[in-house]
Structure 1
Amino acid sequence: MTAPSAHLATQPDILRLFRDVRDRTTALVSPLSEADMMLQSMEDASPAKWHLAHTTWFFEEFILKLHAPSYTSPDDRFAFLFNSYYVQAGPRHARDKRGMVSRPGVDDVMAYRAHVDNALTDLLDRDRDDLHGLVELGCHHEMQHQELLVTDLLHGLSYNPLMPVYRDPEPMPVAREIPLQFNAHAGGLVQIGHDGDGFAYDCEQPRHQTYLAPYQIANRPVTSRDWIDFIEDGGYETPTLWLMDGWARRQQEGWDAPLYWWQQDGDWWTFTLRGPQPVNLDAPVVHVSYYEAEAFARWAGARLPTEAEWECAARPHEITGNFLDDGALRPLPRADLGNFWGDVWEWTQSPFTPYPGFRAPEGALGEYNGKFMINQMVLRGGSCATPLAQMRESYRTFFYPHQRWQMLGLRLARDH
């Protein structure tokens, strides 16, 4: 197995990152009951307890078992229960049955986390600079699961008729309607991908050249106000706006609005991690699939940007915005026109495929991204559930075109 190169060179830096990430995950589950921790509402989602254990297994499997000869797992069966999809790491429990694993209990899982944390800290205290890259990767892996943990929890809680809250409601921010405008970009021969400075996943590399025709891209994401116009104009009832697969999915699932939306006394409401709330009209629309986003773009006389267009347009803008760190846990109206970051991941029209010259790392860690490079679409920009430390201009996440439970939105583009 080829280890990633280290970007946090000193022991204090890597230990601080490790402790901060592990502490944040613990804080995210602190409001949950043991029953909450068991929720698994669909195959795509996992229980919070499983996220706690799987991220711990990652450090144990790829660092401690390989680089700490005296390390002993508290229970060898955890390798089967908490492996996700790493075939080379051994057999795995069925993904859609994770919510059936009532034992080990939450206390046992927290003890497992403490056991691994202590062992890894002891290992790093031996000046193991060669392991910093692997620890950094494990921390970013856990940050991804922090995002999944809160969005999986939202999906699970949404099935409860009592509409429980994860965080207490807060006053809705004052909203203002921002006119949609398009900014022109010259295009030409550009470079995209990770430039080698700081952490990045393998799928963001290598940096390479690509050609962009002149294009225009919107100054803001599509808002819920925009989306209601689409609904009221029959967007969900007009098959000519939809890709064939998208229209079939829309009919099969009965889509007539974004996930978690419903109408009450003529107004649109949505379920959030802060409970049921009126749809914030001027916040970015969220929980829409690629199919819905593509249909909206066609209805609007536009299209979705490519990921190269998005990256080049976002590059001059500082990475600031509404992320998991801010604790809003829902998209908010944009105050900074032109900001490309936070609130919602933005669908692009680009398939998740390898960049020219991509080579997956050897060993089980090579399964992290490479084997998913088929049938999924790229999104950019991060969301209100994404840790800020994850973000960089080359970061590309990916989901299947029908999926909606993540914080997914869109920004329009068009040819110049």
Structure 2
Amino acid sequence: MAGPLDPNSAASRPEPSRIGRRTALGLLLGAPLLSACSSVSNPFEQAGPAGPPQQPTVAGNGQVKVGMILPLSAAGNAGVAAQSMRHAAEMALAEFQNPNIQLLIKDDAGSPQGAQQGAQQACDEGAEIILGPLFAGSVPPTAQVARARNVSVIAFSTDSSVAGRGVYLLSFLPESDVNRIVEYSAGIGKRSFAALLPDNAYGTVVEGAFKTAISRKGSCRIVAFEKYSGDRTASARAVAQSLAGADTLFLADDGDAVVATADALTAAGANLRNIQLVGTGLWDNPRVYASASLQGGLYAAPDPSGFRAFAGRYRTRFGSEPVRTATLAYDAVALVAALARTQGPQRFAPDVLTNASGFAGIDGLFRFRTDGTNERGLAVMRVASAGGQAVAGSPKSFGAT
């Protein structure tokens, strides 16, 4: 999904280093796994012009073969992200302690054709499951190849429309953020919501999730709803005039944009100190923390401690900072390693991958839905000048579906 995103802006999560052991234990006991979750869009959904494809590589020497498709030779941020995700995958192999898997790493150069070719090569080489690709446009051709071989795909795109039978998304989907912040707001007595959202792909997804989440809460209602494109003036004025009947204002956009939206509301006469501001994990941004208008606002995101611990180990190992989405590659590899160790011949079957108890990852608890989307367990954070402060922790288990 082409949402407004910064690779390091999303959210953060719980203690990760033992994901392999914890996931395996949770699956063996059939018990819920401990963790948390977040929101964001894939900041790399638009690939730049690709460079020459790199030679495929192999990591690990286990018997269970796992394909991994990344835009390693794509230009710009996409290629940088792919290299960081590959490093994270290799780190997961090292930290899992003798996993029985072998990663078949394929470079799709950021193109659908490259992804299809990489999937074909991985399947021809015996891959039992495919991790990746990163871009939404590359998922369908990968899925076409994989389905013909009865091979599941765990992709990293944030576009829910490419999820489906046998294609699961291990990414930060906005729906989880929206559900968490609406649930929390209702839990502290908020009942009347106003919303001002961007008129783009991200805003459309958030709008659907927001309206659905409100409809599930019989005691809650939407008193004002507007979207904006370039100029926020008219939509901000319309919302500002309706705030007298609202106790909560939902703003979902990236750091710079949400600050501009708050400023437009203030200019339109809104007193933002008299209403509870809420948002998504895209609020995890220095611009938001520096904004006087957004102080005290609440947003849903993974508990930051998991990513901090992961980033520290990554720096020690590679001497550089990981991109925010590197945890996806780490968790994907740790997950398949745990399943290979504990689940026997049916290790990657749909019933195993959609285990209702979920799995514990660096960014907290997550589980795959049968439609290929995911649900994550998130904390609720408060905006403060020093950064996000947790006001509600991540859930320790998922409720019934």
TM exceeding 0.5? no
Say which structure, 1 or 2, has more relative contact order (CA 8 Å, 6+ apart). Answer: 2
Structure 2 length normalisation: TM-score?
Answer: 0.30
Structure 1 length normalisation: TM-score?
Answer: 0.29
